[in-house]
A and B are shown apart, each in its own frame.
Chain A
Amino acid sequence: MTESAAFLTALRLSDSMLPVGTYTASYGIEQYLNEGRIETTGDLADLVAGYLRGIVGPAETVALGCAHRSAAAGDLDGVLAADERLAASTLPAEFRESSTKAGGKLLDLLADADGPFEGAAGDELVEEYAAALDAGETAGHYPVILGLLCQRAGIGRREAALVGAYSTVTGLLGAAQRLGRFGHTEIQSALSGLFPTIEAVCDRYHDADLEAMCSFAPLADVMGMRHERADRRLFMS
């Protein structure tokens, strides 16, 4: 049984109310829409399933899981290695930027002594990680910091992976909804239709070794790169 406080923290971390700027990221979805590549909610759901199988699972969830495992062992180097490898696996500059900006903001909330996660402030590993980030020695990717935070909050690794994947999916669907014309009930159906894929990739990757990390979503990468030069853009990525 998950402790209530851990469960509530998991809800909090999955809530779009969390002020870490994720609503400014579309991770290429804006460019797919700019280029008219998504027409229906079905297209959108297929695309997001592709993100789950190509990026969220094999790259982000692996990084999150490694950060969680390393945090449990008090192993700062393990957390830093997850960060480094995720940076290397994320090709579009704007994807890296969106992820590290949100990660930095999450860590600010976490590490601030007067901040909202009092439990984590003063935590040695969190402070060492924050110092490495300040010194520019690590990138601060969102899944890594999320894994670290979830471990400290008593959220299990698999649940932490579900929090990460769910938040990414709602972020992508939300971006599409604000840019395109998709009905709110259709978007909700797409979300529940994606649950089995979310579960499958989290099961498969949350315990994976760091060496297993890879990212394979070439068209999403191309969209992310083209977005840098898009004539009209409402999102940072």
Chain B
Amino acid sequence: MGHRDVATVGLGGPVGSGKTAMVKRLVPRLDDAGYNVGVIANDIMTQADAEQLQASFEGRLPEDLVAGVETGACPHTGIREDPSMNLAKIDEFTERHPDLDVVLVESGGDNLAATFNPELADYFMFVISVAEGDDIPAKRGPGVTQADLLVINKKDLAPYVDADLDLMERDSERVRGEEPTVFTNCKTEEGIDEVVDLIERSVLFA
């Protein structure tokens, strides 16, 4: 039992786009659906971050299935060129919990060029938010074009930041071909079921 025997979902995207918020929405749903879930965060920097993350899954996940992995101030290296420390953490998870089904790996916030190494993530979702500018899909960053799923979060903020959601949808379709894009609002949980559904169909039923 090791990292090759468990499904892995990578969440990448810029700082503040809503990756942690998404993980917090996904965990209860996957847990309720009967999956044993682990969470790895690469953006833990302080003791307070670590405690807060563990507390947010209290009662849901065993404490030893929620962990930070330090990436030596190289967030993209940790998920792309050299994911060995994330893989080592997944191995630790599976050693203690052989019945683990899926691990969510949140990358440290990065730029639009970061992608997940396919040996680390079976399914790669890239999370951006409308508040970072509605021109992001059109820039065709590798994260946007190569992700299995593009999530455009904070849909609710569009009117406040003059983001044109139709434009974002058209551009995403244009640059991503057949691959799906979902608009979400992590506050009201709009769109989250669709994300869970895609994860289930892509890596858990498979």
Task: Let me know if A24 and B78 touch, CB within 8 A.
Answer: yes
The reply on A198 being an interface residue by CB < 8 A is no
Overall SS of chain B's interface = loop
User: Measured between C-beta atoms, what is the minimum distance from A18 to chain B in Å?
Assistant: 8
Q: How far is the CA of A20 from the CA of B77 in the complex (A)?
A: 11
Binary contact readout A163-204 vs B (1 if CB under 8 angstroms, 0 otherwise) = 000000000000100110000000000000000000000000
Interface size on B, as a range, is 10 to 19
Query: Chain B residues with Cβ under 8 A from A235's Cβ?
Result: 70, 72-73
CA distance A20 to B81 in the complex (A): 10
Q: Check A21/B85 contact, CB under 8 A, given A231-B46, A231-B47.
A: yes
Q: Is the CB of A101 within 8 A of B72?
A: no
Taking CB atoms, residues of chain A closer than 8 Å to B84 are: 19-21, 101-102, 105
Whether the Cβ atoms of B45 and A233 lie closer than 8 Å is: yes
What is the bound-complex CA distance between A234 and B85, given in angstroms? 13
A104 within 8 A of partner (CB)? yes
Chain A residues with CB below 8 A from B78, complex form = 24
Set of chain B residues within 8 Å of A178, measured between Cβ atoms? 72-74
Collect the chain A residues with CB atoms within 8 Å of residue B21's CB.
none
Q: Are B45 and A23 in contact (CB under 8 A)?
A: no
Q: Which residues of B are found within 8 Å of A102, using beta-carbon distances?
A: 84
Interface 1/0 per residue, A24-66 and B, CB below 8 Å? 1110000000000000000000000000000000000000000
What's the nearest-Cβ distance from chain A to residue B96, in Å? 15
A212 on the interface (CB 8 Å rule)?
no
State how many angstroms separate the Cβ of A187 from the closest Cβ of chain B: 15
Within 8 Å of chain A (Cβ to Cβ): is B99? no
Residues of chain A within 8 A (CB-CB) of B45 are 232-234
- B82 near A21 with CB under 8 A, answer yes
Q: Return the chain A residue nearest B70 by Cβ.
A: A236
- Within 8 Å of chain A (Cβ to Cβ): is B71? yes
On whether the beta carbons of A25 and B81 are closer than 8 Å, the reply is: no
Nearest CB on A from B107, distance (A): 14
> Are B81 and A17 within 8 A (Cβ)?
yes
Residues 42-98 of B at the A interface (beta carbon under 8 Å): 45-48, 69-74, 77-78, 81-85, 88
| B129 nearest CB across to chain A (Å) | 24
Contact: B73 with A179, CB < 8 Å?
Answer: yes
Cβ–Cβ < 8 Å partners of B70 in chain A: 24, 233-236
Name which of B73, B74, B83 has the most chain A CB atoms within 10 A of its CB. B73
Q: Which residue of B lies closest to A175 (CB)?
A: B72
Interface residues of A in 218-237 (CB under 8 A from B): 231-236
A20 nearest CB neighbor, chain B only: B84
- B25 → chain A closest CB, angstroms: 27
Q: Which listed residue, B46, B72, B77, touches A236 by the CB 8 Å rule? A: B72
Do residues B73 and A234 form an inter-chain contact, with CB atoms below 8 A? yes
Residues A23 and B46 in contact in the complex (CB < 8 Å), given A104-B88, A105-B84? no
Q: How far is the CA of A232 from the CA of B50 in the complex (A)?
A: 10
Task: With A231-B46, A233-B70 as known contacts, state yes or no: A23 contacts B77, CB within 8 Å.
Answer: yes
Q: Which residue of B lies closest to A109 (CB)?
A: B84
- Docked-complex contact A23 and B88, CB < 8 angstroms: no
What are the 10 closest A-B residue pairs judged by CB atoms, nearest first? A19-B82, A178-B73, A24-B72, A21-B84, A21-B85, A105-B84, A23-B72, A234-B73, A236-B70, A232-B46
Q: 23 A-B contacts, Cβ less than 8 Å apart?
A: A17-B81, A19-B84, A20-B82, A21-B84, A21-B85, A23-B71, A23-B74, A24-B69, A24-B72, A24-B85, A25-B72, A101-B84, A104-B88, A175-B72, A175-B73, A231-B46, A232-B46, A233-B45, A233-B46, A234-B70, A234-B72, A235-B70, A236-B85
> Which residues of B are interface residues toward A (Cβ below 8 A)?
45-48, 69-74, 77-78, 81-85, 88
